[in-house]
Amino acid sequence: MRLADIVMQTCRAATFALGRELAAWKPSRERATFGIEAVLSVALSVALANALNLSYTWWAAISGFAVMQTSFSASVQRAGHRVIGTLIGAVLGTLAGPLIGDRPWLFVPALGVIGGVAAFYANGSKAPYAWMLGGVTALMVTYEAHILMSVEATASFAAMRAVEVIIGTLACLLVASLFHFGPQWYPRHRPPAASATPLAIGEGAAHPNPAQPPSAESLRRNRMLLGVQGGIAIVLLAAATYFLDMPGFAQALVTAIAVLILPVGALEDRSRKPIIEKMVQRVAGCLLAGGVGVVLLPLMQGHAVLCMLALSAGVWVGCHVQSGAEGASYVGRQFTIAFIMVFVQDHQWSADPVPALMRLSGILIGIVVLAAVMLATRKLNFPAGGA
C-alpha cells in the first residue's frame, strides 16, 4: 500500500473512531472515575504552581495529567519514570547546554544525538517513559541554554523545569492516593467493579503486543531506524531554531521524539502505520483543542473561576475519549494536553490565545518535519550485528 493511501486511510479511521466515541457517550464507572481524578490532579497542580509562583504553570498541569493512570500502581510507576527522566535530562542539559550553546556546529548535531539516543533506547526499553522524558528534558534545557548563554541561568531554568514536573507529579499521586486508599475505609459503600482489568491508558494503548514478539535482530534494526530518523528530524528543527529563532520550536523538538515511541509489537511494522496513526491523532487532538480554545478564551476574559471550569470540562472530555475503546484514545490524550496548553498560561489566567497557539504550531511543525524525514529515509536498512 502506498504511503499516501496509508495516511488517507489513517485519517478516515481516526475521524470515524472519534465520531463513534462521541456517539457512544456512555461513561462507565471506571472511565468517569479516571476523568474525575485527572480533573482534580490538573486543578491541584495549577493551584500549587500558582501558589509557588512557578514560571511555567502549564508544565505542572501537564505533568498532573500525564502521570495519571486508572491503576494506582501504574500511576506510581509512571510518576517515578517521569521524575527520574526529568532530573537526569535536566542535569545533562545544564552541563552540556552552556558549553555548546554558542557553537552551532556542535549545538545542532548534539541535539540530534540526544534525541536519537532517547528514541533508540525508549523503544524496546523496560522504562520507555523515563527515556522519553530524559531526552525531552535534555533537549529543552540544552535548547534554552543557547538563549540564556549562562551556566547559572541554565541551571535555574532546569531546576524550575524539574520543580514544575515534580509539583504536578506529586499532585497526581496525592489525588490517586485518595481515590485508591480512601474507598478502603468505606468498603460497604464501594462494591467491587464489574471488571478488575484497568483501562489501557498511555502512549501505546492502541497497539497491544502480539502473541509472537519480534526477533531481537529485527527489533534492534527498527530501533536504530527510528533513532536515526528522530535524530535527523531534531537536527533540522534545531538548525531552524538556532538560526531563525522561531517560537514554539521547543514543542517541535518534543514531538519529534514522542511520536516515535512505540510498544514492542508495533516496532515490527515497517510501513510505520502505528507512527502515522500517532501523528494523525496528535494533529487532530491539537487542532480540536486549539479551535475550541480560540472560541472559549475570549468568553472567559481571564476570570479564574470560568477558566478553571472550562479547563476541567475539557480535561474530562479528553479523558473520556482517551479511555474509550473505539480507536481514538490518542486523540483524546493529545486533545487534553493541548487543551491544558491553551488554558493554562505561564503565570496567570489570560484571554490571549497567541502564546498557546504558538506552542501548538510547534507541535504541528514537528510532525511535518518528522514525516518528511521518515519519507526520505523509509528505505534505510541496517546490517545485522549485535545491539
Q: Distance between CA 261 and CA 267 in Å, rounded?
A: 9
Q: Distance between CA 382 and CA 221 in Å, rounded?
A: 6
Q: HSE-up of 318 (CA within 13 Å, CB side)?
A: 32
Buried b / exposed e over 49-84, threshold 16 CB at 10 Å, is bbeeebebbbbbbbbbbbbbbbbbebbbbbbbbbbe
Sign (positive or negative) of CA dihedral 208, 373, 237, 219: positive
DSSP 39-95: HHHHHHHHHHHHHTT-S-HHHHHHHHHHT--SSHHHHHHHHHHHHHHHHHHHHHHHH
Rounded to two decimals, the pTM is 0.86
The whole-number pLDDT of residue 3 equals 63
The whole-number pLDDT of residue 349 equals 73
CB distance 238 to 112 below 8 Å: yes
The whole-number pLDDT of residue 162 equals 94
Q: Specify the DSSP class assigned to residue 149.
A: -
The whole-number pLDDT of residue 203 equals 53
CA 323 to chain centroid? 16
Q: Distance between CA 365 and CA 16 in Å, rounded?
A: 25
The structural domains of the chain, with segments of one domain joined by +, span: 3-179+214-376
pLDDT tens digit at each of 387 positions of the chain: 566 677 788 888 888 888 888 777 777 788 888 999 999 999 999 999 989 988 889 889 999 999 999 889 999 999 999 999 999 999 999 999 998 888 888 989 999 999 999 999 999 888 999 999 999 999 999 988 888 888 999 999 999 999 999 999 999 999 999 988 876 654 544 444 433 334 445 554 444 445 555 567 778 888 899 999 999 999 999 888 777 766 677 788 888 898 988 887 677 766 678 888 899 999 999 889 988 888 888 888 878 888 889 999 999 999 988 988 888 889 999 999 999 988 887 767 777 777 777 878 888 889 999 999 998 887 777 665 544
